[in-house]
Amino acid sequence: MLTRIGVLSLGMAMPGLSQGEILKKPYKIRFRTMETDILVVGGGTAGAIAAIQAGRAGQKVTLLECQSQLGGTTTTAGVAFPGIFHAWGKQVISGIGWEIVQEAVALNGDTLPDFSMPHGRQHWRHQIRLNGQLYSMLLEQKCIDAGVEIRYYETPTQITFRNDHWLVETVGKGIHVQIRCRQIIDCSGNAIAASIAGFDLIREKETQPGTLMFTLEGYDMEKLDLNLIRSAYNDAVSRGELVRSEFRGDIVALLKTKGDNIQHIKGADSTTSESHTQANIMGRTSLYKHLKFLKKLPGCENIRIADMRTEVGVRETYRIDGLYRVTREDYVTGRVFKDAVSYSYYPIDLHTEHGVTPRHLAEGVVATVPLRSLIPKNSKNFIVAGRCLSSDRLANSALRVQASCMGMGQAAAAATILANQQNISPGEVDMDDLRKLLEQHGGIVPKS
């Protein structure tokens, strides 16, 4: 009896704890300070490569990634189809991106396409299907191997330049960090770090649509009455149940591709949590509505989602206003800049609500990326890589592809490494030194 009372009275003073349980006091956001050589913001297509490169050159590297894995659009958004590393029978982009793509292909038991046959109008013949999750895992392993400190779920809130160093405030789950670093590489895809640091950005009034990647199954294309499905679809669109532009007005294409890179979400923007939340909800709502619509049609009764990526892939948001803006003309004529740091090879590929009609490069043409297009005007110790480089819209539609982003990521990191070693800004590095460093790490640098 006494024991019982004792337990009871103790229980009134504090929550009843079973054996093995401990009491946790209310959480206080932890504050930490850190020091690093190079801070990479965004561990996506370009950023993960940049971080590995910097780590392999012996720099102390911190990588901020607001999601839970590396690879960005290539992995989290599920566009695991990098293009294009080869042009006109030669490899034009190599280095760390290629190393990991090659490893992912081999580990997955896949083979590389035949790059010796010209791709003609079907440039995707030279793109490489990856197991995105495997690729993401490899990126993580390579970062760890290179000594990169990965910080998932973290994002910068303040970036200021003081005494030749950047002070970056970040928040993450239950944590607030102040990072002091010498160089920043912004690989966020949206140039968010550049913007927070106070540099101007450029954006189109209307940007290209985003896409939620998913896979449908449970129907036999051979057995569907496509005319009937098409007419039911047009009726549903007329009734306002479905939005025509979400699948380019082509329900047959949705069924045929099974969801692979077919959806179009207008205005999708991943720059802030709010805009990205909205894009994700729009992407999923659109899929949900179309799925429910299709399920009522003959032959589609068992249609279901086999796979769906966790976020909408975003094609276009902000670009920096850089020291040089690459133009469409530069791209399609294959201009080799004196400060070219990497190649880029892809058709001009602007997606609109009507779809996309790629404009292919003339035979022998390979575009290049000048270092200046990665450096915001009036900046010091700051560089970007990936789709947010300084370029006009049409040039960007080709420059933004994954192999080009990987090449840029590696080159941007090389510039910051040299800048750190020589106490200068990335824009001031000597091109011969840059070439040497990149080649030592397996990269290909255009020869002017």
Ligand X SMILES: Cc1cc2nc3c(=O)[nH]c(=O)nc-3n(C[C@H](O)[C@H](O)[C@H](O)COP(=O)(O)OP(=O)(O)OC[C@H]3O[C@@H](n4cnc5c(N)ncnc54)[C@H](O)[C@@H]3O)c2cc1C
Binding site for ligand X (CB under 6 A): 41-47, 64-67, 72-74, 77, 79, 81-83, 127, 155, 187-190, 192, 210-211, 261, 313-315, 386-387, 400-402, 405
Pick 297 or 411: Cβ nearer ligand X:
411
List the single partner that 50 binds among ligand X, another protein, none, CB under 5 to 8 Å by kind: none
- The β-bridge partners of 161 are 166
State the number of binding residues for another protein (CB under 8 A).
Answer: 40
Strands 175-186, 30-41: pairing kind:
parallel
DSSP 124-149: GGGS----HHHHHHHHHHHHHHTT-E
| Given 252, 291, 365, 431, the residue binding another protein (CB under 8 A) | 252
Check binding of 354 to another protein (CB under 8 A).
no
List the single partner that 125 binds among another protein, ligand X, none, CB under 5 to 8 Å by kind: another protein
Sort 149 into a burial class: Cβ within 10 Å, 0-12 / 13-18 / 19+: middle
| Given 55, 132, 259, 347, the residue binding another protein (CB under 8 A) | 55
Sign of CA dihedral 436, 438, 444, 445: negative
Given the rule CB under 8 A, which of 190-198, 206-214, 218-226, 310-318 is the region that contacts another protein? 218-226
CB of 344 to ligand X, least distance (A): 10
Check binding of 238 to another protein (CB under 8 A).
no
Report which DSSP code applies to 371.
Answer: G
- The β-bridge partners of 32 are 177
Q: Is the distance from CB of 80 to CB of 74 less than 8 angstroms?
A: yes
Check binding of 439 to another protein (CB under 8 A).
yes
CB of 410 to ligand X, least distance (A): 12
Pick 29 or 226: Cβ nearer another protein:
226
361 to 245, 334, 346: CA distances (angstroms): 28, 9, 7
Q: Is the distance from CB of 404 to CB of 123 less than 8 angstroms?
A: no
Sign of CA dihedral 261, 265, 267, 269: negative
Q: How far apart are the first and last CA of the chain?
A: 92
Given the rule CB under 8 A, which of 130-138, 319-327, 334-342, 439-447 is the region that contacts another protein? 439-447
| Euclidean distance between CA atoms 138 and 98, whole angstroms | 12
| Euclidean distance between CA atoms 50 and 37, whole angstroms | 13
List the single partner that 439 binds among ligand X, another protein, none, CB under 5 to 8 Å by kind: another protein
**Amino acid making up residue 34:** M
Report which residue's Cβ sits closest to ligand X: 44
| Euclidean distance between CA atoms 279 and 273, whole angstroms | 10
CB of 215 to ligand X, least distance (A): 14
Pick 219 or 346: Cβ nearer ligand X:
346
CB of 293 to ligand X, least distance (A): 22
Task: Summarize as ranges the residues that interact with another protein (CB under 8 A).
Answer: 55-58, 86, 89-91, 94-96, 98-99, 102, 106, 111-112, 114-117, 122, 125, 146-147, 221-222, 224-227, 230, 252, 256, 439-444
